[in-house]
Structures are given as structure tokens and as C-alpha cells.
Amino acid sequence: MSTAAYPQAGPDRSAGPPQVEAFFDQRTCSIQYIVADPATGRCALVDPVLDYDEKSGSIATASADALLAHVSEKGLTVDWILDTHPHADHMSAAGYLKDRTGARTAIGERIVDVQRLWKEIYNLKEFAADGSQWDRLLADDEVFQIGDMDARVMFSPGHTLASITYVVGDAAFIHDTLFMPDFGTARCDFPGGDARALWHTIRRILSLPDETRLFSGHDYSPGGRDPAWESTVASQKASNIHLVRARTEDAFVAMRQARDAKLPMPKLILHALQVNMAGGRLPAPESNGMRYLKIPLDGLADAVWE
């Protein structure tokens, strides 16, 4: 199939397609990924989860430690810790995993826009809204290496201002743009979200070859089915319930905005964003040795209540 709408960076230098392992987090319905180069045994960790219990304020690392255990078992070397966007429903374990592995961290370069927006919401006057919390900020169409594999960045706004997709061989990590076809598409009502931008992001993702494996960032098991996270461009084109119902840009925007107007905010959005916009780093301990999260009251004044 033609890839003219999304040119390749060069020949695939790996011995085969990337190996992808998924780790489903039941608490947040999130999926963490390990994408590995079979030729070199080098890998990246994508969207790692830092466990958090909002009732007790407790932090744990079981989800991230499962990634480390798999890396150790398979004899892999971690090159990168990659976030697709600043998550609103779980904390990122990027900081913890960097400390454990020494790997480089990366996120899309538009994270600075999210930082500036949320810095005001949290009134964090001393916070550096310059992306310096990551080792590398990635631009649209930028290419970097995971072992000998080329990984290409696709700027993917709509769900957030800073969302990106990672395309590695025949695999694309599409985060909260498209879910499994029976669940549809991502919400766009967070600060900085945009349904029209999401439509164009989806069209770009669906311009990849039909056989491209698409790995979603969440699954909510509609109808009680088992969790699932891998689809293809072809299956999304054929049966994504939102794209089948709304086949034009205007119809999609109207559908998405109507749905979003009825959705309550994720329960962890105000907890998670202050950590995730800091590269997965928790707030510094205060004089008593304890860390504290900051929750702005009425910071999202128009949010729907459950």
C-alpha cells in the first residue's frame, strides 16, 4: 500500500517487526507497553504507570516493577522511557524508571504548552514550564532509535495539546486517540483538548498501512468483555463505532462534543497532572519529610458531576 501520506524515514534495519508486550493495569484501565528490537534486545517502555491509591494517598511501584521484571527476564536493555502525553487518569512512572534504569525519558515538545496551562491552574509560580523535566522533547516527524529500529513521532493533538504517537516498524502506539473499535474515540474536553484536531489526528493515523498494529492507551471492556488493546488500521476503518456513525469532520465534532458534555472528569485528573507535567516526579518533601499534592478547588468549574 502507498505510504505517501506518511513517508518512511528509511529502510527497516531490524531483523523483524518490533516485539510488543502489553501490561494491563486494572485499577486505571491503562496499558503499559514494552517495545523491543529483536535484533539488539534494546527496548522502550511506553506510558508506564505509577500506582496511586487516592483514598489513602499511597504510592506504589508494582505496575512499573512488572516492566522491570519482564526486561530482566528477557535480557533486554532499556533505551527509552516514553510518554505519549501528560495523562489525566494515572500518574507516570517515568521518573521512577529513569532512576532504576538510567534510560532517557521523552515526550512530545508541546508539553510546554500543557505545563504553562496547568502551572496557572495549580498556581505553581516556581515551576519550570520548559520541558526540562525530560531528557528529550520530540517534534512531529522526528526519528529516533530503539536499538536499530527507527521510531517516528506523529504529533497527535485533540485529546490533549501535547499528544504524540510513536510509529515503530509495523506498530503504532496511539494512546488516547482511538480505542478498540467497539469503544470508539478519545474525549477532547480536557483543558487544551479539541475535537476537530482529534479528527485530523485520527485521519493521519488511519493513513498508515492497513496492516499497521495499533496499540491503545486504555480499554474499558464494554459489555463486560475481556480487556483488549491491539487493533489494526484496517479494523478501525471498518468498524470503529464512532467513525462509522460520524463519517465527516463536522459530524464527528458534533458527536464528540455532545458525548464529552456528559462525561465527568477522570477521578485522578487533578492528582495526576501535577506529577505528569513534571516528568513523573512527585512533589518535593516538605519540612516534615512528607510529600503533598495540591488540589485546586473549582479549578475545573464546569466539570460534570457524577
| Mean predicted confidence (pLDDT) in 111-126 | 96
- Given this model, what pLDDT does residue 16 score? 79
Higher pLDDT, 1 or 85: 85
pLDDT digits (tens, 9 = 90+) for 262-271: 999 999 999 9
Instruction: Copy the grid coordinates of residue 194.
Output: 479539541
pLDDT digits (tens, 9 = 90+) for 171-180: 999 999 999 9
- Given this model, what pLDDT does residue 68 score? 98
pLDDT digits (tens, 9 = 90+) for 210-220: 999 999 999 99
Q: In this model, does residue 140 exceed pLDDT 70?
A: yes
- Given this model, what pLDDT does residue 302 score? 85
- Given this model, what pLDDT does residue 306 score? 86
- Given this model, what pLDDT does residue 15 score? 55
Q: In this model, does residue 3 exceed pLDDT 50?
A: no
| Mean predicted confidence (pLDDT) in 126-151 | 98
pLDDT digits (tens, 9 = 90+) for 66-82: 999 999 999 999 999 99
pLDDT digits (tens, 9 = 90+) for 221-241: 999 999 999 999 999 999 999
Q: In this model, does residue 5 exceed pLDDT 60?
A: no
- Given this model, what pLDDT does residue 237 score? 98
CA 82 from centroid of its chain's CA atoms: 8
Band (55; pLDDT cuts 50, 70, 90): very high
- Given this model, what pLDDT does residue 50 score? 98
Domains of the chain: 19-274 (3.60.15.10)
Q: Whole-model pTM above 0.85?
A: yes
- Given this model, what pLDDT does residue 11 score? 36
- Give me the chain's average pLDDT, please: 94
Q: In this model, does residue 186 exceed pLDDT 70?
A: yes
- Given this model, what pLDDT does residue 9 score? 37
- Given this model, what pLDDT does residue 301 score? 80
